[in-house]
Copies of this chain bind each other. A is one copy, B any other.
């Protein structure tokens, strides 16, 4: 098995667990946050900067790379790791989420999804087989089965049909996935219906994937509902394999996800809000662009030791953001990713020392949720 989960410590009071995931491109500690590098680059960052902040694995998007520059080109370059000069872990999503997001531009059949490129309007087609072929060409350490992310809200019958199809598609992905140095994860769907989640998990586990994701969460539902589904779904998954919660990356959701036993997370949130001028800190968000920081010569977070906070002031970063200077986007991105990776590191340490419940309580007392 190309990807292996190693348990280090379980929280004595919650589902939280600390471990390691071994991949063909090194081992990373879990729970972990994966920065998103949609187009074979984590926006504004160099690989060296990602390493400096301790990123162990990043996510890249199959849909985007399939359209540009094309998976054949990346295969010719020697695979995605070599193409983008990143020698640590990579996970590629299946492209499912993106093609379903195209709305009127796509048409779903049992065979797959016909869609028009958002770039040039050209006709394209992704199926379980094609998405798997593309991901094998990209050569990430972890590939994802081609699924439909059930939207929220969804009628029961829609969620049922969609989830059943996702399971059939997962089997087709597995049937054509032959790359030994890549793990193919299954994705549990089922919308907000527990019985569908249960059926989805059971059928996917039957297929024996080396890891499982929870998909279709954080898609607009109330947070409490997401937590309820997580609370119900995580225990359905095998304890000896990685568990991945897709598309979640705000500190409060990360803490809850970890509590329920999730190992891996990804989200564009920290990088996107960075570029909009919002910094993440241990007490909440700081809109660095705001006028109040024009003459504030302190670091974004005086307790932070990222490159940005060690070297630059709020006033300077605000100036860069107001004048549309790229260094501003870079410094904000460095800070937010560093913050989130460090936050996960501290949370992991609290599990190791069996004080996760304390960590969570301190966080909730200190952090202003937006």
List residues of A whose CB falls within 8 A of some B CB. 39-41, 43-48, 64, 68-69, 73, 76-78, 83-85, 294-295, 297, 307, 311-313, 315-316, 318-320, 322-323, 325-327, 329-331
Contact = CB atoms under 8 A, between A and B. Distances in A.
A6 to B, nearest CB: 31
Given A316-B83, A319-B68, A327 B45 contact: yes
20 contacts: A40-B316, A40-B320, A41-B325, A43-B327, A44-B326, A44-B327, A46-B327, A64-B323, A69-B322, A73-B295, A76-B297, A77-B297, A77-B315, A77-B316, A83-B313, A83-B315, A85-B311, A326-B329, A326-B330, A330-B330
Given A39-B319, A41-B320, A46-B307, 12 more contacts: A43-B326, A44-B326, A44-B327, A44-B330, A64-B323, A73-B315, A77-B297, A77-B316, A78-B297, A83-B316, A83-B319, A326-B330
Contacts of A327: 41, 43-46
Contacts of A297: 76-78
A40 B85 contact: no
A85 B41 contact: no
Nearest to A39: B323
A165 B260 CA distance: 76
A48 B318 CA distance: 20
A53 to B, nearest CB: 14
Copies in the complex: 2
A293 to B, nearest CB: 11
A39 B325 contact: yes
Given A46-B330, A327-B45, A319 B85 contact: no
A319 B43 contact: no
Given A77-B313, A77-B315, A69 B294 contact: yes
A307 B297 CA distance: 31
A329 B324 CA distance: 14
A325 B43 contact: yes
Contact of A323 (B68, B76, B323, B331): B68
A341 B277 CA distance: 33
For the complex of A and B, the 9 pairs showing the least CB-CB separation, nearest first, are A44-B326, A69-B319, A41-B327, A39-B323, A85-B311, A41-B325, A83-B316, A326-B326, A77-B297
Contacts of A68: 319, 322-323
A327 B294 CA distance: 27
Contacts of A326: 43-44, 326, 329-330
A325 B318 CA distance: 22
A76 B294 CA distance: 11
